[in-house]
Amino acid sequence: MVNPTTPEFKALRRTWWILLLVGMVLTTASWAVREYLPSPWALQASYGVLGLAYAAIFYALFLDWTKMRPMRQAAFKAGAAKPVKSAKPSKAVAEKTASAKASAEKTAADDSAAK
């Protein structure tokens, strides 16, 4: 995956993250209102807050699909985007790679000694 380096994309990405975080916070607030406020209106209030949370999350998805994805695809086609940093390989993968390299070197050394 590649991300464009334009200021417009960076602003959209920041907005996207903010909307997702707002959605998560409002979802938690909805649960807390329903659980910890024993008043008769707490259930309706929690549904209202949950509706706002869904609106924020759906708007973040809409923003991604309609604005950000076309920008990423255009940047990929133009070659004007930088690749996203990949995760570091796990320790087990690094150990396997090191042991495979060591065994290949040992085999090569054994082959050259046999000649």
Q: How far is CA 52 from CA 32, 48, 64, 81, 89, in A?
A: 15, 6, 18, 34, 39
Spacing of C-alpha 17 from chain mean position? 10
Q: How many residues are listed for the chain in this entry?
A: 115
User: Which tokens belong to 57?
Assistant: 């999350």
- DSSP 8-state assignment for residue 97: H
CA distance 16 to 107: 52
pLDDT at 20: 96
CB 54 within 8 A of CB 77: no
The pLDDT tens digits along the chain (115 residues) read 677 788 898 999 999 999 999 999 999 999 999 888 888 888 889 999 999 999 999 999 999 999 998 888 888 887 765 566 665 666 666 676 677 777 767 776 666 666 6
CA distance 42 to 54: 18
Residue identified by tokens 């990405």 is 13
CB 26 within 8 A of CB 50: yes
